[in-house]
Amino acid sequence: MTMPGVVRPEPILPTAITRLEALDWQDVEQELDGRGVAVLSGLLDEGECRLLAGLYARRELFRRHIAMARHGFGQGEYRYFNYPLPRPIAELRTALYARIAPVANRWNQWMNQERRYPDRHADFLAQCHAAGQQRPTPLLLRYHAGDYNCLHQDLYGDLAFPLQAVILLTEPGLDHQGGELVLTEQRPRRQSRVEVLPLQRGDMAILASHHRPVQGARGVYRVNMRHGVSRVRAGQRLSAGIIFHDAE
Ligand SMILES: O=C(O)CCC(=O)C(=O)O
Ligand SMILES: [Fe+2]
């Protein structure tokens, strides 16, 4: 029996965290350094995806609901979680940050950017909060047939972590058609490159949020990354976004 006024803790994602910790991070780091994106296939199982997708209906968990069309962001909707984050989201955010902070620091070194990110996410969040960025940014997104997400960057203030993660929570071909995650890479004085990520349910994509370094013949140059979602042609698509900086 649930006692009135007693908040039950959210279930956690032990298998996803175990899988995350068991990955070959040298491989993942190489992909991130080389291409600015890495896909962790099947990080979440079906039940874990359903658990996260099921949070969408629980309005009390969110601080803000965005209808994308109203802002010119595309078509579809998303909700920013409130603090305290549901434990699965908080645990993924904390565990993933610790694994990719070295990548972020290496990128800044290569790009001659002074900022270095602390080893622990809690310490980075303390920096965000001290800089006036105190609102949580992890989110759930929901798209129906015809919906899409315009190319964008998720920057919410001066302080920004250069990588973020997206988890696909529904199964392409079954729950929805279309709705591919798309990345663009704008190169100085050259035409842009695009990459389509054919994710399956439970896959996590780690991607460069803003700038990333590319090794060229004459040294390192900086490219400008954007991401978006192509039109969902049928069904319903849900995803979770994990952004490491908080918002103003
Ligand atoms: O729905 C998606 O796959 C993209 C989500 C997104 O833009 C984000 O999490 O920042
Ligand atoms: Fe985004």
Q: What is the mean pLDDT of the chain?
A: 94
Cα-to-centroid distance, 56 and ligand 2 (Å): 17
Q: What is the pTM of this model?
A: 0.94
**Tell me, what CATH number does 63's domain have?**
2.60.120.620
Distances from the Cα of 36 to the Cα of 73, 117, 120, 154, angstroms: 23, 18, 22, 15
Cα-to-centroid distance, 50 and ligand 2 (Å): 21
- In tens, the pLDDT along 203-235 reads 999 999 999 999 999 999 999 999 999 999 999
Residue 3 lies inside a defined structural domain of this protein: no
Residue 2 lies inside a defined structural domain of this protein: no
The whole domain housing 221 covers 14-243
If one residue of 181, 209, 242 were mutated to test the ligand 1 pocket, choosing by the most ligand atoms within 8 A of its CB, it would be: 181
**Residue 35 phi/psi, 5° resolution?**
-125, -10
The mean per-residue pLDDT over the stretch 20-42 comes to 97
Residue 134 lies inside a defined structural domain of this protein: yes
Burial class (CB in 10 A: 0-12, 13-18, 19+), 42: middle
b/e map 118-143, b = 16+ CB within 10 Å? eeebeebbeebeeeebebbbbbbbbb
- In tens, the pLDDT along 80-97 reads 999 999 999 999 999 999
Predicted pLDDT of residue 1: 45
- Is pLDDT of 156 > 60? yes
pLDDT band of residue 6 (cuts 50, 70, 90) is low
ipTM: 0.99
Residue 1 lies inside a defined structural domain of this protein: no
Measuring from atom 9 of ligand 1, which residue has the nearest CA? 241
Between 188 and 139, the higher pLDDT residue: 139
Measured from the alpha carbon of residue 166, the closest ligand is: 1
Distances from the Cα of 110 to the Cα of 24, 32, 104, 211, 214, angstroms: 23, 14, 10, 11, 9
